Amino acid sequence: MKNHKTLGEYIIENQKDFQYTTGELSRLLSSIKLAAKVVNHEVNKAGLVDILGNAGDTNIQGEDQQKLDIYANEAFMRTLSNREIVCGIASEEEDDFVIIEGKNRSHDNKYIVLIDPLDGSSNIDVNVSVGTIFSIYRRVTPIGTPVTKEDFLQPGNLQVAAGYVVYGTSTMLVYTTGHGVNGFTLNPALGTFYLSHPSMKFPENGNIYSINEGYYVHFPQGVKDYLKYCQEEEGDRPYSARYIGSLVSDFHRNMIKGGVYIYPTSSKAPQGKLRLLYECNPIAFLAEQAGGWASDGYKRILEIKPTELHQRVPIFVGSKNMVADAEKFMAKYPQDADY
């Protein structure tokens, strides 16, 4: 990797992009880099060490917590807390947000982080790739006071940074600070991330659709109509169906090849399944920064005003012309816009 920039070098070089920052955001991104390496080490040996299988506990979503879920959550919570950079963290694995106090009980740090520490964790036991998703905001309540829920319930268009780690055939960290999307690949021998995918761009069109068609009969009519459109023999259709049950991996592939990922409402999931704050907003920020789009089928994800920490929303995200096509079918059924 002689001529590839490292993630550390990239963060320092682009420090100037962050107005008024004293290097805190850079240090915050570096702490995420460290946590990603720690989790990657465990994920890559999951088959060998007895940390597979359910931990016996369940999270607020009522989902079985796999031991790696807990491990990843603790790794990111610990790394983010130790660096005196964030004043609060919300996680899929934590029932409520966590107030982070500095050494002298300071609440002087100005960033908050929302995280899905190990998305797609049901894939762990079958050796399919999983991911970490993170979202970073500036706090909105006075510095020096403990963070409140108001700091976490900000619309996605106020994110200062967002990204994911995909633990796949190689481990990549992909993130944006509002100046485009860049992908870094881990060289495990050196423990260093190298810039391997500069300025990632969603192809405007694509021929991959990612959705769990097993729920077809439960989908809104607009989604059923769009799926039939994808399967018709016309022009560049039928499209290919690619869905591996891991949002980060499906999104990452679609961003490189072109495609759309849909998790809609259904009679089984009236609000959809994915969480707005630590899945849909960061993924939507990345999509838009890469020239793609993300909506709930009707309105832009990044403009949704959050009301609850773990609220779920439907999501249509990917190549902007494919999302637009799906929205045309959804628009025929305005009654499905409310969830």
Q: To which H or E segment does residue 149 belong?
A: helix 149-152
Query: Which residues touch 115 (CB under 8 Å, ≥6 apart)?
Result: 73, 76, 89, 90, 91, 92, 132, 133, 134, 135, 278
Least Cβ distance, residue 274 to ligand P6P (angstroms): 6
- Residue 255 tokens read as 């961003």
In the complex with ligand P6P, which residue's Cβ is closer, 13 or 213? Answer: 213
- Residue 198 tokens read as 């500069």
Of the candidates 206, 270, 290, which has an alpha carbon nearest to the alpha carbon of residue 242?
A: 206
In the complex with ligand P6P, which residue's Cβ is closer, 177 or 254? Answer: 254
H helices present in 1-23, as ranges = 7-13
Least Cβ distance, residue 124 to ligand P6P (angstroms): 11
Contact criterion met (CB below 8 Å) for 294 and 284: yes
Least Cβ distance, residue 73 to ligand P6P (angstroms): 15
Contact criterion met (CB below 8 Å) for 111 and 28: yes
Least Cβ distance, residue 95 to ligand P6P (angstroms): 18
Least Cβ distance, residue 294 to ligand P6P (angstroms): 14
Angstrom distance (rounded) from CA 97 to CA 89 = 6
In the complex with ligand P6P, which residue's Cβ is closer, 93 or 151? Answer: 93
Contact criterion met (CB below 8 Å) for 257 and 203: yes
In the complex with ligand P6P, which residue's Cβ is closer, 11 or 211? Answer: 211
In the complex with ligand P6P, which residue's Cβ is closer, 81 or 122? Answer: 122
**Where does this chain bind ligand P6P (CB under 6 A)?**
119-120, 122, 212, 245-247, 250, 273-274
In the complex with ligand P6P, which residue's Cβ is closer, 14 or 122? Answer: 122
Q: To which H or E segment does residue 167 belong?
A: strand 161-167
Least Cβ distance, residue 231 to ligand P6P (angstroms): 19
